[in-house]
Structure 1
Amino acid sequence: MNLSIKIFIALVLSVVVGLIAGEPALSFINWWIAPIGTIFINLIKMMIVPVVFFSLVVGMTSLGDTKKLGRIGAKTVCLYLLTTAVAILIGFGIAGIVSPGTGLDLTSNAAVKVKEAPSLMQVLVAMIPANPIDAMAKAQILPVIVFSLFVGIGIVQVGGERAQLLIKFFDAAAEVTYKIIGIVMQFAPIGVFALLLPVVAKNGPAVLLPLMSVIGCVAVGCVIHAIVVYSSLARVWGGHTPMEFFRGMSEAMMIAFTTCSSAAALPINMKNCQEKLGVSREVSSFVLPLGATINMDGTALYMGVCSLFVANVFGVDLTMGQMLMIILTGTLASIGTAGVPGAGLIMLAMVLQTAGLPLEGLALVAGIDRVLDMFRTCLNITGDGAVTIVMDQEEKKYDSNVAGAEA
């Protein structure tokens, strides 16, 4: 049986068993089953830094040209930011039709602790690690990416026999990380079941019933964005049919949906893009880790929906200027926001503050944030895969054009 089917069956079983068991069995589930899910998450997290570091160095040395790196990097960032802006517009469109929160009299005095979103300069400073080993120990992906790029550039600049020795070492190390990921993924169905069961058992139908309109808007918006935007990118520029694309992405999408972490899904996403979608290692090793850090289309769509929801609940009519500000802030805020569970609330707090909406609205969204996080994270990593396919095809065309011109 295909692994993605096993994961889906585990997901369905966790919902059924969780609803049947309910809160009376919560103590047993938390004591004996939930730790298994934590072990699975730890196994995935164990591989995040190694796969990013080794793969990016391999990707850099494979490119073999700093000009090529700049060309790919500029195109990738522009495409990521463009799809993020489109995602916010789709969120606005869906929420504008459904009008979630209209007529609700919801008040909450519960304080939601949200870390202050970093400024642009703080993000830029944090990108350069004072101690790369410390950044790796803390799994700070953006500084690790920057350090990896410098190591790759250094190896390319050294050249010769010494460079070949290092290239072979990093290439072998990257292969080892992929093999370990393959072993870990065999336990994915068990991990998915153990992760979701406590959530369903604790909340029961209440995890979905309240504020169903918001959940529905985010879910429908994510599906529309994936089908219309991503499958179009994969088909028109990437040369893959929508069925081929989603089949190749299915395992990574399931992991992202379950763990709510773009970073956790990164190793599986990298493996699947190379093995199932035929993306070259040199492109995927650079574009995917970058996407896991700055590409937050699902989170952007979620911000569009939740902004309108908060505005409706508190009776605020958003002006066109406020909507444009939400689009601009949400797009730029995606850069540097960690690909970890709950990071969307940080971005939402920034957007609400920028648009002049009540921050008390965070307390309303926080109650269903875990469910929303599943959909938006799944969309985030799907976008990473779509952009990677496009960039791979672009580089192949560029190389063939250059070869033709030289001939």
Structure 2
Amino acid sequence: MKIWMKYLIGITLGLVAAFILPLDSLQGSSILAFITEIVIRIGRYTLIPLLFFSGIMAVYRLNDAKLIGKTVLWTVTVIVISSLLLTILGFIAIVVVKLPRIPIITEKVSQATTLDIQGMVRSMIPFSSIDSLSEGSFLLPAFIFAMIVGAGCCMEHSNLKPILSLTDSLSELFFNVSTLFTDLLSVGIIAIMCNWTIQFRDIIKSGVFTPLIIMLTVIFIVVAGGIYPLLIRLLCRGGKPYKVLSACIVPFITAFFSGDTNLTLPINMRLGKEKLGIRQRTNGFAYPLFSIFARGGSALVVIISFVVIWRSYSTLNIEFFDMLWISGTAFLLSFLLGGMPVGGTFIALTVLCTMYGRGMETGYLLLKPAAAIIGSFAALFDAATAMFGTYIVANNTKTIEKHRA
């Protein structure tokens, strides 16, 4: 059975379970949350070794093929342009469409959330290189370590053939193990879907956030079904955009219902290789970078959410230059969310409200009940960006196997 069919069956069973099982009680919710957490842990279980060994071989092979500079340039360019594109799209959408106001609520404010940029920089280069492999959420330290080791292998590899052979074998091993775990996740997605449905059902019942959900859904259809395929037509000679879109089914399911960008990464890497024929040298290099930095979906959702909050508090229009500041800040914040694979979108919204001030410091509380849902949409946009973006990089560096392209 094809993997997308397994996942579709899984989300169907999860949807049914949410309506027929008594999970609304405190005990039922606690058990379901525990099972969901275990499933996500299983999904991430082999991610670090897969990223590490694949990253080493990616750098070595890209350098050996004299493609390292071109791949870096294309990857960085696509990440920046995709994030900027989604930011502009969020700006245009919320200016053109005025969503209904959200009723003002009174809630006690907890301690303000901040982004510890200095701490993030420190964590990128820990005191021990081994520590970089122990962080399960922030993937950048492990990726940097892999790049350093890969660069070391490029300097004098004549005496390193046994190590390169072992590393290549370990990369293949953990890819196979990751494939096994992504198959198991098709069963675990039942719990994830069940948990998500219960949260979503309560939000839909209130009706308060339905216009926002509809708007984000329409924008996603336009992006994934129109804009990204068009970019592949323009940027990729012989590109097959709807083949890429068909490969996105499982990543879309995983990203949207888990809201976890790290959980989606091994699935992207698997389907990028199996369905799109993206070679290991690009697969192990571009996908992790997209997962860490290409968070334009968060920028789009944050911009729309912030303006909804503003319009709920005030009948005045936001000045054009204020909108530029909001959009630019959301764009920059999106690059700092790599250490927050879950919940980063709402944290970015919190930080934006705090930075903007003018009585908006606690405005994020209006969207707190829908925090998981807006995080789901952000992860959905980012999953599409990673899949389409990596395909563009692979196509333009000619690292797609011909018999699959």
TM over 0.5: yes
Residue matched to 1:135: 132
Mapping for residues 231-270 of structure 1, pairs under 5 Å: 231-238=229-236, 239-270=238-269
Residue matched to 1:297: 296
- Cα deviation code 1:369-395 (max 9, x no counterpart): 111222211210221111111111211
Residue matched to 1:372: 374
Tell which deviates more after alignment, 56-65 or 325-334: 325-334
Instruction: Mark the runs of 5 or more structure 1 residues left unpaired by the alignment.
Output: 398-407
Count of residue pairs brought into register by the alignment: 393
Mapping for residues 44-83 of structure 1, pairs under 5 Å: 44-64=43-63, 68-83=67-82
Are the structure 2 counterparts of residues 202 and 309 from structure 1 closer, same or farther at C-alpha, using a change threshold of 3 Å? closer
Residue matched to 2:331: 331
Distance in 1 (CA, whole Å) between partners of 2:109 and 2:98 is: 25
Distance in 1 (CA, whole Å) between partners of 2:114 and 2:199 is: 29
Are the structure 2 counterparts of residues 371 and 22 from structure 1 closer, same or farther at C-alpha, using a change threshold of 3 Å? farther
Residue matched to 1:391: 393
Residue matched to 1:403: none
Task: Report how far residue 73 of structure 1 moved.
Answer: 1.8
Are the structure 2 counterparts of residues 166 and 263 from structure 1 closer, same or farther at C-alpha, using a change threshold of 3 Å? same
* 8 Å CA contact 1:260, 1:374 repeated in 2: yes
Distance in 2 (CA, whole Å) between partners of 1:278 and 1:347 is: 35
* 8 Å CA contact 1:270, 1:285 repeated in 2: yes
Are the structure 2 counterparts of residues 184 and 23 from structure 1 closer, same or farther at C-alpha, using a change threshold of 3 Å? closer
Distance in 1 (CA, whole Å) between partners of 2:128 and 2:75 is: 27
In structure 1, give the amino acid aligned to 2:184: F
Are the structure 2 counterparts of residues 214 and 381 from structure 1 closer, same or farther at C-alpha, using a change threshold of 3 Å? same
Residue matched to 2:168: 171
Distance in 1 (CA, whole Å) between partners of 2:132 and 2:288 is: 15
3-state DSSP class of the match of 2:398?
Answer: helix
Distance in 1 (CA, whole Å) between partners of 2:251 and 2:394 is: 19
Residue matched to 2:402: none
Distance in 1 (CA, whole Å) between partners of 2:12 and 2:363 is: 31
Are the structure 2 counterparts of residues 201 and 123 from structure 1 closer, same or farther at C-alpha, using a change threshold of 3 Å? closer
Distance in 1 (CA, whole Å) between partners of 2:256 and 2:29 is: 21
Residue matched to 1:342: 343
Task: Report how far residue 30 of structure 1 moved.
Answer: 3.7
- Cα deviation code 1:15-52 (max 9, x no counterpart): 33323446555634643x54443332111211111111
Mapping for residues 200-215 of structure 1, pairs under 5 Å: 200-201=197-198, 204-207=201-204, 209-215=207-213
Are the structure 2 counterparts of residues 12 and 95 from structure 1 closer, same or farther at C-alpha, using a change threshold of 3 Å? farther
Are the structure 2 counterparts of residues 393 and 260 from structure 1 closer, same or farther at C-alpha, using a change threshold of 3 Å? same
Residue matched to 1:108: 106
3-state DSSP class of the match of 1:367?
Answer: helix
Residue matched to 1:10: 10
Are the structure 2 counterparts of residues 232 and 132 from structure 1 closer, same or farther at C-alpha, using a change threshold of 3 Å? farther
Are the structure 2 counterparts of residues 28 and 306 from structure 1 closer, same or farther at C-alpha, using a change threshold of 3 Å? closer
In structure 2, give the amino acid aligned to 1:128: I
Instruction: Mark the runs of 5 or more structure 2 residues left unpaired by the alignment.
Output: 400-405
Distance in 2 (CA, whole Å) between partners of 1:66 and 1:231 is: 28
1:189 aligns with 2:190: no
Task: Report how far residue 67 of structure 1 moved.
Answer: 7.0
Are the structure 2 counterparts of residues 66 and 277 from structure 1 closer, same or farther at C-alpha, using a change threshold of 3 Å? closer
Are the structure 2 counterparts of residues 377 and 367 from structure 1 closer, same or farther at C-alpha, using a change threshold of 3 Å? same
Task: Report how far residue 113 of structure 1 moved.
Answer: 5.2
Distance in 2 (CA, whole Å) between partners of 1:197 and 1:116 is: 31
Task: Report how far residue 192 of structure 1 moved.
Answer: 1.1
In structure 1, give the amino acid aligned to 2:347: I
1:159 aligns with 2:157: yes
> For 1:363, which of 362, 365, 371 is the aligned residue?
365
Task: Report how far residue 320 of structure 1 moved.
Answer: 1.6
Distance in 2 (CA, whole Å) between partners of 1:62 and 1:166 is: 14
Tell which deviates more after alignment, 106-115 or 163-172: 106-115
- Which structure: greater helix fraction? 1
Are the structure 2 counterparts of residues 355 and 158 from structure 1 closer, same or farther at C-alpha, using a change threshold of 3 Å? same
* 8 Å CA contact 1:329, 1:351 repeated in 2: yes
Residue matched to 1:400: none
3-state DSSP class of the match of 1:108?
Answer: coil
Residue matched to 1:319: 319
* 8 Å CA contact 1:66, 1:153 repeated in 2: no
Are the structure 2 counterparts of residues 28 and 151 from structure 1 closer, same or farther at C-alpha, using a change threshold of 3 Å? same
Task: Report how far residue 126 of structure 1 moved.
Answer: 3.6
Task: Report how far residue 227 of structure 1 moved.
Answer: 2.2
* 8 Å CA contact 1:85, 1:327 repeated in 2: no
Q: CA RMSD in A?
A: 2.4
Distance in 2 (CA, whole Å) between partners of 1:114 and 1:292 is: 27
* 8 Å CA contact 1:115, 1:346 repeated in 2: yes
Residue matched to 1:117: 115
In structure 2, give the amino acid aligned to 1:348: L
Distance in 2 (CA, whole Å) between partners of 1:187 and 1:386 is: 25
Distance in 1 (CA, whole Å) between partners of 2:16 and 2:54 is: 39
3-state DSSP class of the match of 1:64?
Answer: helix
Residue matched to 1:97: 96
Residue matched to 1:273: 272
Distance in 1 (CA, whole Å) between partners of 2:26 and 2:199 is: 6
* 8 Å CA contact 1:80, 1:387 repeated in 2: yes
3-state DSSP class of the match of 1:171?
Answer: helix
Tell which deviates more after alignment, 134-143 or 236-245: 236-245
Are the structure 2 counterparts of residues 47 and 112 from structure 1 closer, same or farther at C-alpha, using a change threshold of 3 Å? farther
In structure 1, give the amino acid aligned to 2:37: T
1:198 aligns with 2:195: yes
